[in-house]
Structure 1
Amino acid sequence: MSYRRSEDLSQRTVPKFVESIATTVRGQPDSADVEAVVLRMVARRSDSIDLPDVLELRSLLDVDGEQADTLEEQVTTIISAIEVDLAGWDRREVAA
């Protein structure tokens, strides 16, 4: 895992960032993978998350997006799940 330290994604989950992701998803075909779009955009905004990290995060994500009423809520839920996983990475690195 090349990820060094979690960045506070909550600072990035301002409505503008969530709306930007939602707009990107809406511009994709109906079969767009929302989790993949969110991961890609979070990785682009981070200087410490690279492709292996994205792939690992993807395998760890356990999000039920169907529970969300809106696309924005779904995006926020996915970002929250990413934050939880990244926090776990920080704890593992500190313990190592």
Structure 2
Amino acid sequence: MSCRRLEDLSQPPTSQFVESIATTVQGQPDSADVQAVVLRAVARRSDSIDFPDVLELRSLLDVDGAQAVTLEQQVMSIISAIEAELAGWDRLEVAA
């Protein structure tokens, strides 16, 4: 685990970004993994998240997509979980 800041996501994700990810998810086969698609999009947006971070985030994310009414809400909840996990990494790095 390394300290990874989402400078690009320090502001709430724009509805355009969320819609763009939702559109990408909709273009995938029904069996597509929504969390994986969102993680890839977030990693592409941030210069500080690399492949090992994506793998670790993937194993740590615990998002209940059943509570989301729309795909956009599901995408937003995954992004929020990513941000929360990365904030925890930052706190651990500062404490170390």
Q: TM-score, normalised by structure 1?
A: 0.93
Give the percent of matched residue pairs that are identical in Structure 1 and Structure 2.
80
Shift of 1:13: 1.1
Task: Give 1:62's aligned amino acid.
Answer: D
Show structure 1 runs of 4+ deviating over 6 A.
Answer: none
Task: Give 1:53's aligned amino acid.
Answer: D
Determine if contact 1:2/1:50 at 8 Å carries over to the other structure: no
What is the aligned partner in structure 2 of residue 5 from structure 1? 5
1:8-47 equivalent positions in 2, closer than 5 A: 9=9, 11=11, 13-47=13-47
Instruction: List alignment gaps of at least 5 residues for structure 1.
Output: none
Instruction: List alignment gaps of at least 5 residues for structure 2.
Output: none
Q: Hey, what's the Cα distance between the residues in 2 that align with 1:80 and 1:90? A: 15
What is the aligned partner in structure 2 of residue 93 from structure 1? 93
What is the aligned partner in structure 1 of residue 71 from structure 2? 71
Aligned residue pairs total 96
Q: TM-score, normalised by structure 2?
A: 0.93
**Cα 1:8–1:46 shift into 2, 3 Å:** closer
Q: Hey, what's the Cα distance between the residues in 2 that align with 1:5 and 1:44? A: 13
SS in 2 for 1:81: helix
